[in-house]
Amino acid sequence: MSNDHSDSRPRLAAIDRDECIRLLGSTRLGRLAVLPPNWSGAPVIRPVSYAFDPSSQSIVFRSAQGSKFTALLLSSAAAFEIDGLEATGDSGWSVIVEGPIEEIDSPTEIQRLERLGLRTLLRPEETSHWIRIRATAVTGRRIAL
């Protein structure tokens, strides 16, 4: 009998970009992290309902026009994270997207994005401001027991 317990330790494995993109399209709620310029505190992290837009390789979500959070978002780049557990409960995953933030103000683009089926947690009239995070960096990890 061996005393080697290495098989019982969790395994961590990178997830390739294609699988990360598939996972981004499979969920609707994530966490957005922003570190404002010249900020000495911790990043600001908020949950957001989102949709993944495959054609622009970006995360899109809605925010309140004129809110402090929207102003903060438009002042810097952001990180966006989703995670999940497999049905068996013995493994999970995490995907992180990093990239610049931009306001979406083209009516044609907004009409196209509305077809993605984005559902906000708040009433649509409270979240009339469309925002995009371009996925310039996408990484993922899977952990399994």
Q: What is the pLDDT of residues 55-85, one digit of tens each?
A: 999 999 988 766 666 666 766 778 999 999 8
Which tokens is 48 given? 């957001």
**Higher pLDDT, residue 127 or 108:** 108
- Taking the mean position of all CA atoms in its chain, how far away is CA 136? 12
Pick from 90, 97, 98: nearest CA to 142: 90
**Higher pLDDT, residue 77 or 134:** 134
Count, residues in the chain: 145
HSE toward the beta carbon, residue 100, CA cutoff 13 A: 4
* pLDDT higher than 50, residue 1: no
CB-count burial class (<10 Å; 0-12, 13-18, 19+) for 106: exposed
pLDDT tens digits along 25-48: 999 999 998 877 777 778 888 898
CA dist 29 to 7, 23, 24, 120, Å? 33, 12, 10, 9
- Label residue 90 by pLDDT band (50, 70, 90): confident
pLDDT at 122 (0 to 100): 60
CATH of domain 28-144: 2.30.110.10
Please give the model's pTM, rounded to 2 decimal places.
0.82
* pLDDT higher than 60, residue 126: no
Q: Kindly report the CA angle at 45 between 42 and 49, in degrees rounded to 5?
A: 170
- Residue 83: CB atoms within 10 Å: 16
Beta bridge partners of 47: 31
CA dihedral 52, 53, 58, 62 (to 10 degrees): -70
